[in-house]
A and B are shown apart, each in its own frame.
Chain A
Amino acid sequence: MILHKSIVRKIQPVFWVTLLLMIVFNFFSSRFLSLHNIINLFQQGAVLLIVAAASTLVILSEGLDLSLGSVLTLAGITSVMSVNSGAPVSVAIGIGILTGLLCGAITGTLISIFNMQPFIATLGIQGVYYGISLVLTDSVAILTKNKTFIFFGSRIGYLPMAALIGVGTFLLILYIFHNTPFGRYIVAIGGNESGTRLSGVNTRFWKWFLYTFAGGVTGFAGVLLASRLEAADPIVGVGWEFDAIAATILGGTSFQKGKGGVAGTALGVLLITVVRNGLNVIRTPSILQPALIGTILIIAIVIQVGLSMRSTQKEGKNRP
């Protein structure tokens, strides 16, 4: 069962809010619910869908990865740089994924081997990865004109390539989460790490593997983003890690005791993408958008967490 009953109950408000927002946006601009814009919506949400799935896995293990935005950036840069220097597209994509894996492996080493707290390790390493991005690009965006490379992020008529790849990757992560020992260990580590270790699971390895996996997945998302934007910008990923965390929380995953799941995160991603896209479609001045989105996300998280806390209180669980 992909969506547990308790999660369905938790994410119901998010669902209704998303629906309401869609109606409101459509009221202001009838273009919002046009087929053209809905396809756009999926194109725009594709990358976040992948990053948020990775972030959800990390949060389910009671961890946190604040470096995902910088990994997204760095992987896009290495792949665009290699495709621009004449490497075949498959190699460039591979280099992007490898970059993500390497970044994730370093983060994972700091957290699982050296016992650093996740948010410090990932915040510090975020500075390092952004630093490397700035050094590699000398603070300017690199464009790419390679037709094959940008094909994967493009939209051919009604065929949104990025959206298809994004949804496909998300489903793959969902499958891995529900059908492999790795997925079960994540939840087990989040629920009770020492208990999991005592029952014979090498928690240290699996935690390391989790951050590496999240890095690799985010690296792939970075390639997709660079392909969609036809460029790699050294600051493109700023703040993505928070969108991913917000989508995770809105999707019903709790940051305590491994409760939640990957499937709900898709709804959180939908809400965030609807807000971002809708504000554009109804022509909100671009200068207002960061403040509006930031405020909306905080309020949405507060409502979501507040509601779920009330429901746990009713069940009489976890509260002394």
Chain B
Amino acid sequence: MMNKKSILSTMDPNTVSGVGRVFALLLICVAMGFVSPVFFTARNISLIITNASIMAILGVGLTITVITCGPDLSVGSILTITAVVAVIMVKANFHFLVSFAVALLMGTALGFLNGVLVTKVGLPSFISTYGLQWALFGFAYVILKGYVIYNFDADFRFIGNGYLIGPISMPIVVMVIVVFLGWFILRKTTIGRMFYATGANRDAARMSGIDTGKAILLAFSISGFLSALAGIVLVARINACQADIGKNLLLPSLATVYMGGTRATGGQGGVFGTLVGAVIMTVVENGMNLLGVPSVWRNAIIGTLIILTVLANIAVSKQLEKAGSKM
């Protein structure tokens, strides 16, 4: 008992909860393996990681905004509107790279708009981003008028359903690049330090000479860019796009971030946790499918998961603070 405590207190608190998280993932996987015999097949595992990639790409953007200022609740709607624009352009015979570029630019611009609403207008991020999503979903609906656009060229689809080598699909490659860049920006650059400082205490950061407005604008722009990227990968993967494609993505991707140990109050967290969170989230969804849980239960289960993980995070951080003060 004594021994355990002293090990805990000598280790970095974030490492402790990080190891715990991976352990939890393994535990869930083993449980799933017992429940469903097909869970540990190579096909299912490759499927899970590929599915997790969309959540992870969105999750990295969300992680950065949560760390800096507050979650970007418009990720699902930015994903939708940019994906709609991309598929419309590619159907109008634009080169697929042009449509990608326009979608990514548009996502960044919308993210920048979110940042402006927070920094210049002074709205709390959870009100402005939550409000913006209704307008964006509305516009996606206006453009598509309820139709589904499907069947894209192989070039366009490669980023979603292609394979680099063996079982490593393109979404996994994109995810690895995004997570690596996210880690690099947050941990190895001054911009990253700006994000953490702004999130930990905005007034203190401003007074010590950090341009907090710039940090927030940048964080939301990154999140908008990544939402557009996730949208491209998603429509390329499922080979179809409709006006509600991103409607059910906000809750799970937010759950992903909090499961990854990023503190809801800002200033703490990282993208590797989010990656693990995305895999946990996908395993849970995959498990619900394999177990034949009716789709009407999905929202209830994911909502409960968000609440439980945030509660667990609060409990863990309290516990760690206690351990820290005893040292």
Interface of A toward B, CB cutoff 8 Å: 64, 66, 110, 114-117, 119-121, 123-132, 134-135, 138-139, 239, 242, 245-246, 249, 255, 287-295, 297-298, 301-302, 305-306, 309
Contacts and interface: CB of A to CB of B under 8 A. Distances in A.
A190 to B, nearest CB: 14
A290 B297 contact: no
Nearest to B146: A287
Interface residues on B, range: 35 or more
B299 A130 contact: yes
Contacts of A289: 138
Interface stretch (B101-109, B117-125, B182-190, B234-242): B117-125
Interface string B135-157: 11111011001100000000000
* Chain B interface SS verdict (over half): helix
Contact of A123 (B117, B123, B254, B265): B254
B310 A123 contact: no
Given A114-B311, A117-B265, A305-B123, A138 B296 contact: yes
Contacts of A116: 264, 307, 310-311, 314
Interface of B: 70, 73, 117, 121-124, 126-128, 130-132, 134-139, 141-142, 145-146, 251, 254-255, 258, 264-265, 294, 296-304, 306-307, 310-311, 314
A116 B123 CA distance: 21
Contacts of B299: 127-128, 130-131, 134
B127 A255 contact: yes
B137 A242 contact: no
Contacts of B127: 64, 245, 249, 255, 301
Given A135-B297, A302-B117, A255 B124 contact: yes
Contacts of B251: 123-124, 127
17 contacts: A64-B126, A120-B254, A124-B255, A125-B307, A127-B300, A127-B306, A128-B300, A135-B294, A135-B296, A242-B130, A246-B131, A255-B127, A291-B135, A297-B131, A298-B131, A301-B131, A305-B123
Contact of A126 (B124, B137, B303): B303
Nearest to A254: B122
Given A124-B307, A249-B127, 17 more contacts: A66-B130, A110-B311, A119-B126, A120-B254, A123-B254, A127-B251, A127-B303, A128-B299, A130-B303, A131-B303, A134-B300, A135-B294, A245-B127, A294-B132, A294-B138, A301-B128, A305-B121
Nearest to B318: A115
Nearest to A138: B296
Contacts of B134: 239, 242, 290, 293-294, 297
